[in-house]
């Protein structure tokens, strides 16, 4: 995907979120650290353009909630910031790539520690398949079939200086 394709996918996802929820009332976006945060901000901006209402955006780091903490190199923890109550809200959890489902499981666990949302919906830019847990996205920018030997990299201007989605062979550790 290039910059224009990412922009179109996010616009479509924003419209789908609004359609499913019958507007923006009670919606909040929560991005999973790192690239999910910028995608959540972009989605909130698109919803604001459409509905003329500001949507709160939060940041969630799931590092301490992962079930593979003992088997992988830990990532540096980023800040979690939810400057609003999630109680009674419809939380749209946003991530860049949905793969095994384990990050999303961790995100749901982390989110529940902050309150009791009315509902949690999942929006991802790329769904690459290969689920290990029974998790599916409610909103998908693009389904990208991959093999387990491949990596999907999402690049965002805010983090990487350019927008794009790349598929490449996984480097052996």
pLDDT for res 104: 97
Query: Please, what is the end-to-end C-alpha distance for the chain in angstroms?
Result: 27
On average, the pLDDT of the chain sits at 94
Res 170: pLDDT: 83
Mean pLDDT (whole number) for 12-32 = 98
Q: What are the pLDDT digits (tens) for 55-85?
A: 999 999 998 888 876 666 666 678 899 999 9
* pLDDT at 143 > cutoff 90: yes
Structural domain harbouring 84: 3-68+79-147
pLDDT tens for residues 94-104? 999 999 999 99
Tell me the whole-structure pTM to 2 decimals: 0.94
**Residue 89 parent element (H or E):** none
Checking if the pLDDT of 129 tops 90, the result is yes
Instruction: Tell me whether residue 167 is in a domain.
Output: no
* In-domain check, residue 14: yes
Please, which pLDDT band fits residue 107 given cuts at 50, 70 and 90?
very high
- DSSP symbol at 81: B
Report d(CA 129, CA 40) in Å as an integer. 21
Q: Average pLDDT for residues 114-133, to the nearest whole number?
A: 97
Cis peptide preceding 34, ω within 30 of 0 = yes
- Answer whether residue 162 shows pLDDT above 70: yes
Does residue 152 form part of some domain?
A: no
- 161 is a domain residue: no
Residue 154 domain-assigned (yes or no): no
**Residue 128 resides in a domain:** yes
Q: Is residue 103 part of a domain?
A: yes
By C-alpha distance, which of 82, 143, 140 is closest to 115? 82
**Domain total for the chain?**
1
Inside any domain, residue 137: yes
Read off the CATH number of the domain in which 132 is found. 3.40.50.2020
């Amino acid at each position: 995907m290039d910059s224009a394709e990412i922009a179109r996918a996010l616009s479509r996802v924003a419209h789908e979120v609004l359609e499913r929820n019958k507007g923006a009332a009670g919606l909040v976006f929560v991005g999973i650290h790192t690239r999910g945060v910028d995608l959540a901000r972009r989605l909130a901006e698109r919803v604001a353009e459409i509905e003329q209402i500001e949507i709160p955006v939060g940041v969630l780091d799931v590092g301490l909630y992962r079930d593979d903490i003992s088997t992988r190199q830990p990532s540096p923890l980023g800040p979690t910031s939810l400057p609003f109550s999630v109680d009674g809200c419809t939380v749209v959890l946003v991530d860049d790539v949905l793969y095994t489902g384990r990050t999303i499981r961790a995100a749901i666990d982390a989110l529940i520690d902050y309150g009791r949302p009315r509902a949690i919906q999942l929006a991802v830019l790329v769904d690459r398949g290969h689920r290990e847990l029974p998790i599916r996205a409610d909103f998908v920018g693009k389904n990208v079939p991959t093999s387990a030997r491949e990596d999907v990299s999402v690049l965002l201007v805010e983090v990487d200086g350019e927008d794009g989605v790349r598929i490449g062979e996984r480097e052996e550790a």
